[in-house]
Amino acid sequence: MEIGFVGLGRMGRNVVLNLLEKKVRVVAHNRSPEKVREIAKAGAVPAFSPSELCAKLKSPRVIWLMVTAGAPVDEMIAELLPHLRKGDLLIDGGNSFYKDSIGRHDSLRSGGIDFLDVGTSGGLGGARHGACLTIGGEETVFKKAELLFKLVACKDGYAHVGGAGAGHYVKIIHNGMEYALLQAYGEGFEALAQSPYKLDLPKVAKVWQHGSVIRSWLLELAQSALEKDPKLERLEGEVGGGETGRWAIGQAWEAGAPFSSVANAYSARLRSRQKDSFSGKVIAAVRNGFGGHEVTRREGRK
């Protein structure tokens, strides 16, 4: 099996390494050539332009995009399009807005190019060792690419969830739910930190991981962060991100679903950028743990 891959950021690079480990021939491209050279050392076939990428793939081509949502996706598709042929398949595995994905699907299909939108979850570890994938588009096209999704995903970790845009729609709602879960953990540990008891927060997090109703991977990441820095003094309580959460709230409200917990969590993220908070520190630490997302560290703290 072979695949073209565009976008070698944190997630994209790990997906490529995952595929290389499974003996897939990967032709890799990125706008910055140093990342192409780096992944070539791991076994990928380097391509320093979209035209070179397409030339090094046999027809019908399968090309996976893992680039920043919005204009960068459209720009890359525009660069690839002159080199594509009828029956080629483009997969957008990034965090695109689902209505954009519907538009891209319709535009490409009119020219005979297949398109699937894929919500990719599981953080950096999932990308490297087995992600969770929700896939949108024609089922017949999905079936043609199913083996690829099976290789990228963890066991039972992929599903065709509907027509064009459905994969990204499900991922948008997933990200909104993530906001609310993170906020609940953040506020819970803040309440413990401000309790009348001198609680050992890493110990509490650890015991909760054994049989409690709220045990989870996110709690495991919180436990790890608290063990390294029980008061999270090395971090500022500023939480990044926000676009997919805002999309999730808008789509839920458009559908008539309240989504109040997610809306409150989104508001708390905005607040975290205005004033330091312990809950913000917990969320920032956990996001750094599962996705390598940037954290703001206090000056003089390591």
Strands 114-121 and 131-136, how do they pair? antiparallel
Query: What separation in angstroms does the CA of 49 have from each of 31, 75, 158?
Result: 8, 13, 30
* Bridge partners (DSSP) listed for residue 153: 131
Structure tokens at 293: 């997302």
Beta strands in the chain (DSSP E): 2-6, 25-29, 45-46, 62-65, 89-92, 114-121, 131-136, 153-162
SS3 content of the chain, % helix, strand, coil (to 5): 55, 15, 30
Query: Cα separation of 277 and 91, whole Å?
Result: 39
Write out the catalytic residue numbers: 171, 178
SS3 116: strand
Query: Cα separation of 225 and 207, whole Å?
Result: 15
Query: Cα separation of 166 and 172, whole Å?
Result: 10
Query: Cα separation of 12 and 67, whole Å?
Result: 8
Sequence letter at residue 214? I
